[in-house]
């Protein structure tokens, strides 16, 4: 990523100061080199990596994924962002439409939203009924345990922003002609249903944070710092040849494992 492109990635809609553009670009490039190192290891050892990114509308999922995959091999890297299910998919086992997109050997798959739609958007907006919602909460830990036991490396990240920050970002999105494609009726309802989404998120954490598939929270008010630390955190949990431990050792507190204590302490936006 060049200095020019970093400068174009404007921090204007963020509530806290971001790293200087030149420092951000240098660190991002170094981390992207580490990602390439890991992908070489993944391919050589037939590993399977699945990364799930969740969060409120405008939390920064698209930008984070873009930086992760920017220099990875497109043949072994896939970004999955499924749209509205068809009538046939709606009548099938809930996880069925996600299964074909799971990683095979040598693949790195990123889900930009995932089966966790059923823990957030669907119950809040009335796209599923209470029985479907409860069945999901009961079965998703078992489903994920099956994936992990089969050898899939599964990482779940929730990008967290507060209500005022989301409002600023959604307003900026409406003004920016290059981001019009991101606007949707769901975005329009995001602020009105803020508390409903908070309750659904808290239930999701409580019911689906497990030892085999924990949730990691990313404090994402500062987009650039959040991207860097998410990548650091991910690589810090992976083993590969030539790993730069010094680069990955920084701990800013922006990424942490979910806990009830963190929720009660206000480390997660209410």
Residues near 39 by beta carbon (within 8 Å), at least 6 away in sequence: 72, 73, 76, 77, 108
Q: Which residue has the tokens 């990683």?
A: 103
The reported pLDDT for the residue numbered 90 is 95
Neighbours of 87 (CB within 10 A): 6
The pLDDT tens digits for 35-58 are 999 999 999 999 999 999 999 999
Do residues 61 and 159 lie in contact, with contact meaning Cβ atoms separated by under 8 Å? yes
The reported pLDDT for the residue numbered 199 is 98
Both tokens of 115, joined, read 């089966």
Please give the CATH number for the structural domain made up of 27-264. 3.40.50.300
71-150-80 Cα angle (round to 5): 40
Q: Which residue has the tokens 């046939």?
A: 88
What DSSP string describes 136-162?
HHHHHHHHHHHHHHTTEEEEEEEEE--
What gap in Å lies between CA 116 and CA 173, rounded to an integer?
24
Nearest to 66 by CA among 28, 118, 95: 28
Do residues 224 and 18 lie in contact, with contact meaning Cβ atoms separated by under 8 Å? yes
Domain positions in the chain are 27-264
The reported pLDDT for the residue numbered 19 is 53
The reported pLDDT for the residue numbered 154 is 98
What gap in Å lies between CA 133 and CA 122, rounded to an integer?
8
The reported pLDDT for the residue numbered 69 is 98
Both tokens of 245, joined, read 């431990």
Residues lower than pLDDT 50 in the chain:
1-17
Helices (H), 9-59: 21-44
Instruction: Give the CA dihedral 251, 227, 150, 97, nearest 10 degrees.
Output: 150
Do residues 59 and 13 lie in contact, with contact meaning Cβ atoms separated by under 8 Å? no
The pLDDT tens digits for 10-31 are 444 444 445 578 999 999 999 9
Helices (H), 221-259: 223-236, 245-248
What gap in Å lies between CA 182 and CA 82, rounded to an integer?
14
Q: For residue 255, how far is the Cα from the chain centroid?
A: 12
The reported pLDDT for the residue numbered 181 is 78
Both tokens of 41, joined, read 């290891």
Both tokens of 266, joined, read 């206000």
What gap in Å lies between CA 218 and CA 146, rounded to an integer?
26
**pTM exceeds 0.75 for this model:** yes
The reported pLDDT for the residue numbered 66 is 98
Both tokens of 70, joined, read 């920017």
The reported pLDDT for the residue numbered 3 is 36
């Amino acid at each position: 990523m060049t200095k020019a492109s970093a400068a174009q990635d404007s921090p204007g809609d963020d509530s806290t100061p971001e790293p200087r553009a030149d420092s951000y670009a240098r660190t991002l490039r170094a981390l992207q080199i580490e990602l390439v190192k890991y992908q070489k290891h993944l391919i050589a050892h037939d590993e399977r990596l699945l990364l799930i990114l969740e969060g409120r509308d405008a939390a920064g999922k698209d930008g984070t994924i873009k930086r992760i995959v920017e220099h990875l091999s497109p043949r072994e890297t896939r970004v999955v962002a499924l749209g509205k299910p068809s009538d046939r998919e709606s009548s099938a086992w809930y996880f069925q439409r996600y299964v074909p997109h799971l990683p095979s050997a040598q693949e790195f798959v990123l889900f930009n939203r995932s089966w966790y739609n059923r823990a957030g958007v669907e119950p809040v907006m009335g796209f599923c009924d209470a029985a479907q919602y409860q069945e999901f909460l009961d079965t998703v830990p078992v489903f994920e345990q099956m994936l992990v036991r089969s050898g899939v490396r599964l990482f779940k990240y929730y990008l967290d922003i507060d209500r005022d920050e989301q409002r600023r970002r959604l307003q900026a999105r409406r003004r920016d002609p290059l981001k019009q494609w991101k606007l949707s009726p769901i975005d329009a309802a995001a602020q009105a249903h803020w508390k409903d989404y908070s309750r659904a998120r808290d239930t999701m954490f409580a019911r689906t944070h497990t030892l085999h598939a924990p949730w990691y929270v990313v404090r994402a008010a500062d987009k650039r710092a959040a991207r860097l630390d998410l990548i650091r955190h991910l690589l810090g949990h992976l083993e590969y040849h030539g790993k730069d431990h010094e680069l990955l050792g920084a701990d800013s507190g922006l990424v942490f494992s979910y806990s009830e204590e963190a929720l009660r302490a206000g480390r997660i936006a209410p």
